[in-house]
């Protein structure tokens, strides 16, 4: 398999135990020499301090760390303050998102879409940040139509995004088609596939339902049939996701971004299998 750049996504832990576990995860995954790692951000303030703390902890280890930043439910003033904080800490890489409002939170905020956040970051900070945006090979669940979603993606790039990371998928053709269609719209930035390791059937089905990613029937049926047999789920999941990664790498995908869920084992096993 061709060598491919790796990046890893973490979420900010809420407890000391979680922090310790994440440090161990990072230490294990650092051996794979990721290009960068990213840290998610809770819309509406739930994990905002946690994102900064985690990013600073990672940066101390000499690894490039990119905080995610979402605009929904936020004022321009608060976004400006967060950007200033990141800059003052030497952060130069950011993942710009709309985010989702937590249930019960009604205020959309001053910026409605990620394209507006990207434009805002560029207006406020010029070229201070490398900006990543999200892309959806199987389309965002709220999109009016596939075409509309593709155009919304192109708008984010036009507004100043430097590269994109996709929602996870298990059907490589959806990604290849999406990239072709984006290129036809003049999008020329790298579109890095997001990879979800498979370790848990019910969690995977729940996440996929929420974010609009398709778990093909043959994969769902096999996983379901293993019941509580975690070892079989792990082994099958490793086969499926490693094959997907190999296909993507062989087709010159510009990198692989792993949704680690703060666990090293499944991601490390896939990277080892594909020779990363």
Question: Would you please indicate which residues are annotated as catalytic (active-site) residues?
Answer: 9
* Residue 93 within binding range of ligand FAD, rule CB under 6 A: no
Q: Please, what is the minimum distance in Å from the beta carbon of residue 60 to ligand FAD?
A: 21
* Interface region with ligand FAD, contact rule CB under 6 A, candidates 20-28, 97-105, 240-248, 261-269: 97-105
* Residue 103 within binding range of ligand FAD, rule CB under 6 A: no
In the region spanning residues 30 to 49, those forming contacts with ligand FAD, defined by CB under 6 A, are 40-43
Contact 271/34 with Cβ under 8 angstroms?
no
Residue from 140, 195, 264, 274 binding ligand FAD (CB under 6 A): 140
Which residues have C-beta within 8 Å of that of residue 14, sequence separation ≥ 6?
47, 50
State the Cα–Cα distance between residues 159 and 114, nearest whole angstrom: 9
Contact 199/263 with Cβ under 8 angstroms?
yes
* Residue 221 within binding range of ligand FAD, rule CB under 6 A: no
Residue from 25, 115, 199, 208 binding ligand FAD (CB under 6 A): 115
Which residues have C-beta within 8 Å of that of residue 179, sequence separation ≥ 6?
191
* Residue 159 within binding range of ligand FAD, rule CB under 6 A: no
| Cα R_g (the chain), whole angstroms | 18
Residue closer to ligand FAD by CB (options 13, 194) is 194
Residue closer to ligand FAD by CB (options 95, 271) is 95
* Residue 134 within binding range of ligand FAD, rule CB under 6 A: yes
* Residue 246 within binding range of ligand FAD, rule CB under 6 A: no
Residue from 53, 100, 110, 214 binding ligand FAD (CB under 6 A): 100
**What are the E-state strand segments in the chain?**
6-10, 36-39, 65-70, 93-97, 130-135, 163-168, 191-195, 256-259
Residue from 37, 114, 223, 249 binding ligand FAD (CB under 6 A): 114
Residue closer to ligand FAD by CB (options 64, 236) is 64
* Residue 98 within binding range of ligand FAD, rule CB under 6 A: yes
State the Cα–Cα distance between residues 272 and 190, nearest whole angstrom: 24
* Residue 99 within binding range of ligand FAD, rule CB under 6 A: yes
104 is written with which tokens?
Answer: 């019960």
Could you give the 3-state DSSP secondary structure of residue 270?
helix
- Residue 130 backbone zone (phi > 0: left; psi -120 to 50: alpha; other: beta): beta
Which residues have C-beta within 8 Å of that of residue 185, sequence separation ≥ 6?
150, 151, 154
Q: What residue ranges bind ligand FAD (CB under 6 A)?
A: 40-43, 68, 70, 95, 97-100, 113-115, 134, 140, 142-143, 148-149, 152, 156, 165, 167, 194
């Amino acid at each position: 398999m061709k060598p491919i750049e790796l990046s890893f996504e973490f979420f900010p832990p809420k407890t000391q135990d979680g922090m310790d576990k994440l440090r161990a995860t990072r230490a294990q995954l650092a051996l794979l020499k990721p290009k960068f790692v990213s840290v998610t951000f809770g819309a509406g303030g739930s994990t905002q301090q946690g994102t900064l703390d985690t990013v600073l902890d990672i940066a101390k280890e000499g690894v490039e760390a990119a905080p995610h930043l979402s605009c929904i439910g936020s004022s321009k003033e608060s976004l400006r303050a967060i950007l200033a904080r990141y800059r003052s800490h030497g952060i130069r890489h950011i993942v710009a998102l709309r985010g989702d409002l937590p249930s019960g939170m009604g205020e959309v905020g001053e910026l409605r879409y990620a394209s507006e956040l990207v434009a805002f970051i560029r207006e406020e900070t010029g070229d201070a940040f490398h900006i990543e945006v999200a892309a959806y090979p199987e389309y965002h669940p709220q999109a009016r139509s596939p075409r509309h979603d593709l155009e919304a993606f192109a708008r984010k790039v036009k507004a100043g995004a430097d590269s994109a990371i996709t929602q996870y998928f298990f059907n490589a053709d959806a990604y290849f088609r999406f990239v072709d269609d984006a290129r036809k719209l003049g999008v020329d930035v790298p579109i890095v596939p997001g990879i979800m390791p498979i370790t848990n059937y019910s969690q995977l089905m729940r996440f996929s339902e929420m974010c609009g990613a398709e778990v093909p029937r043959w994969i769902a049926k096999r996983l379901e049939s293993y019941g509580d047999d975690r070892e079989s789920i792990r082994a099958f999941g490793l086969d499926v996701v490693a094959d997907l990664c190999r296909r993507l790498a062989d087709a010159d995908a510009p990198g692989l971004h792993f949704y680690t869920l703060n666990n090293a084992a499944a991601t490390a096993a896939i990277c080892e299998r594909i020779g990363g």
